[in-house]
A and B are shown apart, each in its own frame.
Chain A
Amino acid sequence: VLTQSPGILSLSPGERATLSCRASVSFSSNYFAWYQQKPGQAPRLLIYGVSNRAGGVPDRFSGSGSGTDFTLTISRLEPEDFAVYYCHQYGIAPFTFGGGAKVDIK
């Protein structure tokens, strides 16, 4: 089970966003990813392998963590970053996602 916190993050453009994802079991692999989803769209891969940015993802997005605690950081929020974010583990089947965290405009 992946638990994301906070469920909703209200911030202003230019602020820093820190999203957390806690796993119920410790991961020894680095099979951990983050996605962004906007209404009516498929998820977009942001981070894979804990800390690798996917192609075309701006460097304001970064991922970190190990074991049971993982973090997605958006250094300076741009207007297009207000969306829902999901964490995802793909090291232990069945693969699971967090419940999502919404970043909305304060």
Chain B
Amino acid sequence: EVQLVESGGGLVQPGGSLRLSCAASGFTFSTYAMTWVRQAPGKGLEWVSSINLFGDNTFYADSVKGRFTISRDNSKNTLYLQMNSLKAEDTALYYCARGGLITATHYWGQGTLVTVSS
């Protein structure tokens, strides 16, 4: 069974940093692109970032480019999102998903909540 479990969310002040993790199991992690998607409270889905199989090709939404960094450790079956210079508008539930780039995102985690507030 495919499982994606996000962690690392929490309350952070504007300008602060957080690192999200997504632990993957039930599939061969190194053979799939991975993606982060967020959802602000009461709003729709917003793509944040995607990474290819090897981690050497990354893509970002304009809203996070230069502040967020996606990475992966295929030896640990884990996806990361380093978030710096956080703003109030980054407040959202952050989902990790399998796929992206040239495929749909077939499996999603349950999300981790990031709240940026003073």
Co-assembled chains A and B = no
Q: Measuring CB to CB, which residues of chain B are less than 8 angstroms from any residue of chain A?
A: none
